[in-house]
Chains A and B, each alone.
Chain A
Amino acid sequence: MSAMLSVQGVHTFYGHIEALRGIDLEVRKGEIVALIGSNGAGKSTLLMTICGTPQAAKGRVVFDGRDITKVPTHEIMRSGIAQAPEGRRIFPRMTVLENLQMGASSAPPEHFAEDLERALAIFPILKERQGQRGGTLSGGEQQMLAIARALMSRPRLLLLDEPSLGLAPMTVRRIFQVIRDINRQGVTIFLVEQNAYHALRLAHRAYVMVTGTIGMTGTGAELLANREVRAAYLEGGVTEEVVAGGAP
């Protein structure tokens, strides 16, 4: 399998702070790849660097064989990448429908009706909320809108930054189900998550990020079984899941 996205020796700075210190990873066509790591490790920075905002100071980002390291953000996003970013970033004073229209900015207009129908079929609640302002949606609804908005551009690669953050367990399960479905329809997914248990179960492969570097990599199952990973990122989550599932 060929790499759809390849990050090679990437360094990113905020002023003097070096947030990424030489990141190497790749995402292959059709995969779900998860990225886990503690707060401040640099996960969101990596997703943003892939999108060129901020740009990498050193190293290369290659998407579909093309070096996009220095390509302006809006052009990157028009070449088949979409991101549902941390904090959701819904346009608060635009309606749900307008937010979705914004998501379709880089798609041919003749696809809009069809894409809208598909997005609303995935998240029926958004259909009822079409005329409501984004800023008045609940957190879960905003997350669904953020994912739907990202899908409106028909991405080949979807970057998701903590889609489960702050959501009720039922909504979390629903979101992960949706991610799996989207992937089955042919969208490659690169997923950043705090909820390591769900993420590793879902992902084909995963990376663990530690203060700006990649600490570990393997299949989702391998990392789930790994003692260090369990100790650092899972104990709380697993216990919760066990309790919720009513296990022994």
Chain B
Amino acid sequence: MAYFLQQLINGLSLGAIFGLIAIGYTMVYGIIGMINFAHGDIFMVGGFIAIIAFMVLGLLGITWVPLALLVMLAVAVAFTALYGWALERVAYRPLRNSGRLAPLISAIGMSIFLQNYVQLLQGARNKALGTPPISGGITLMDSAGFSVQLSYMQIIIIVSTVLLMAGFTYLINTTTLGRNQRACEQDMRMARLLGVDVDRTIALTFVMGASLAAVAGMVWLLYYGIIDFYVGFLAGIKAFTAAVLGGIGSLPGAMLGGLLIGLIEVFWSAYFSAEYKDVAAFGILVLVLVFRPTGLLGKPEVEKV
């Protein structure tokens, strides 16, 4: 029981990170119907910007943890958002009217580019945080020599994910930007005919997705204490899997999918073997897609228009 509870906590923490990345996939897919395969690498860039900020702060002697974290977060989000914006501007917008395949290939190209770019600038070896700025936690339960730990970092991950989800749901459902995004999703030409600047709306969608990926990248860095140029590949694929599992295009679906992938991965490693944890996650995806092609929360279109 204690062991199970511990895995649950670990799985939810990991899943929350996948969920944050998955939202970027799902929002971009929703609005332009394209899988932004470079999104995982945007997440990786976010992690790197966070660690660079961390090191610069160390050099400047700013070590008070709350301040350091806040500055890291602000810097990571701002710069990663800029990368997201530039990515759309450079690699996707020029291909807006070129069918589905061209942007997809461009996305894969950008993914490879970002990996090599970071590798070149930061080196191929992984970067470690050294002493983690957030350590320790609380012991929830002690039974039969096994204690259930909830680390402060896990609390931060779960709380910030819940807050971000709430904020994003509010933004999409009630603000003008959110309404414009939904309009573009449903009928882009009509949105244009009502005076919506569609290019700007799409750019902002990339910025929003990249901002969440930056948070995820920073959280990943703080959680594992280590990052390398390749981390975005697998994390990206898993987050993408999460988005599809939850129903691509659906915001709560992305979060649910993320949590499920995190839980599957952690439980599989805990009870079976860590070696096949990725296979387990993807296997579940295949099963879900066979029986529910629209994903768990994706609704089949049943509307007369």
Using a CB–CB distance below 8 Å, which chain A residues touch chain B? 51, 53, 73-74, 77-78, 82-83, 85, 87, 89-94, 98, 101-103, 105-106, 133, 135-136, 149, 153
Asked if B182 and A91 sit within 8 Å, CB to CB, the answer is yes
Other-chain contact of A53, B179, B182, B189, B304 (Cβ < 8 Å): B189
Asked if A85 and B190 sit within 8 Å, CB to CB, the answer is yes
Minimal beta-carbon separation of B223 from chain A (angstroms): 36
Asked if B195 and A93 sit within 8 Å, CB to CB, the answer is no
Cα distance A53–B194 in the bound complex, in angstroms: 12
With contacts A105-B180, A135-B303 taken as known, whether A91 is within 8 angstroms of B187 at the C-beta atoms is yes
Chain B positions 66 through 105: 1 when the CB is less than 8 Å from some CB of chain A, otherwise 0: 0000000000000000000000000000000000000000
Q: Which residue of chain B has the shortest Cβ distance to A109 in the bound complex?
A: B176
Asked if B303 and A101 sit within 8 Å, CB to CB, the answer is no
Other-chain contact of A73, B186, B193, B304 (Cβ < 8 Å): B193
Using a CB–CB distance below 8 Å, which chain B residues touch chain A? 176, 179-180, 182-183, 186-187, 189-198, 303-305
With contacts A92-B303, A93-B186, A93-B303 taken as known, whether A53 is within 8 angstroms of B195 at the C-beta atoms is no
Asked if B303 and A102 sit within 8 Å, CB to CB, the answer is no
Residues of chain A within 8 A of B193, CB atoms compared? 51, 53, 73, 77, 83, 85, 89
Minimal beta-carbon separation of B187 from chain A (angstroms): 6
Residues of chain B within 8 A of A82, CB atoms compared? 194
Asked if B196 and A105 sit within 8 Å, CB to CB, the answer is yes
Residues of chain B within 8 A of A83, CB atoms compared? 193
**20 A–B pairs (Cβ distance < 8 Å), ordered by A:** A53-B193, A73-B193, A74-B196, A74-B198, A87-B305, A89-B187, A90-B305, A91-B182, A91-B186, A94-B186, A101-B179, A102-B180, A102-B183, A102-B191, A102-B196, A103-B194, A105-B176, A105-B194, A135-B303, A153-B195
Asked if A93 and B182 sit within 8 Å, CB to CB, the answer is yes
Asked if B194 and A77 sit within 8 Å, CB to CB, the answer is yes
Cα distance A73–B190 in the bound complex, in angstroms: 10
Asked if B186 and A92 sit within 8 Å, CB to CB, the answer is yes
Q: Which residue of chain A has the shortest Cβ distance to B301 in the bound complex?
A: A92
With contacts A92-B303, A105-B180, A135-B305 taken as known, whether A53 is within 8 angstroms of B192 at the C-beta atoms is yes
Residues of chain B within 8 A of A102, CB atoms compared? 179-180, 183, 191, 194, 196
Q: Which residue of chain B has the shortest Cβ distance to A77 in the bound complex?
A: B195
Cα distance A90–B197 in the bound complex, in angstroms: 18
With contacts A90-B305, A91-B186, A135-B303 taken as known, whether A153 is within 8 angstroms of B179 at the C-beta atoms is no
Residues of chain A within 8 A of B187, CB atoms compared? 89, 91
* Additional A-B contacts beyond A73-B192, A91-B186, A105-B195 (5; CB < 8 A): A85-B190, A89-B187, A102-B180, A105-B180, A105-B196
Residues of chain A within 8 A of B189, CB atoms compared? 53, 89
Asked if A78 and B195 sit within 8 Å, CB to CB, the answer is yes
Cα distance A136–B183 in the bound complex, in angstroms: 16
Minimal beta-carbon separation of A9 from chain B (angstroms): 24
Asked if A149 and B194 sit within 8 Å, CB to CB, the answer is yes
Minimal beta-carbon separation of B70 from chain A (angstroms): 33
Q: Which residue of chain B has the shortest Cβ distance to A101 in the bound complex?
A: B179
Cα distance A66–B196 in the bound complex, in angstroms: 21
Residues of chain A within 8 A of B179, CB atoms compared? 94, 98, 101-102
Cα distance A105–B183 in the bound complex, in angstroms: 11
Cα distance A73–B183 in the bound complex, in angstroms: 16
Minimal beta-carbon separation of A233 from chain B (angstroms): 27
Minimal beta-carbon separation of B298 from chain A (angstroms): 13
Asked if B192 and A77 sit within 8 Å, CB to CB, the answer is yes
Residues of chain A within 8 A of B192, CB atoms compared? 53, 73-74, 77
Q: Which residue of chain A has the shortest Cβ distance to B195 in the bound complex?
A: A106
Q: Which residue of chain A has the shortest Cβ distance to B185 in the bound complex?
A: A93
Minimal beta-carbon separation of A69 from chain B (angstroms): 16
Residues of chain B within 8 A of A51, CB atoms compared? 193
Of B183, B195, B197, B303, the most chain A CB neighbours within 10 A belong to B195
Asked if A106 and B190 sit within 8 Å, CB to CB, the answer is no
Q: Which residue of chain B has the shortest Cβ distance to A83 in the bound complex?
A: B193
Minimal beta-carbon separation of A200 from chain B (angstroms): 26
Cα distance A93–B186 in the bound complex, in angstroms: 8
Q: Which residue of chain A has the shortest Cβ distance to B305 in the bound complex?
A: A92
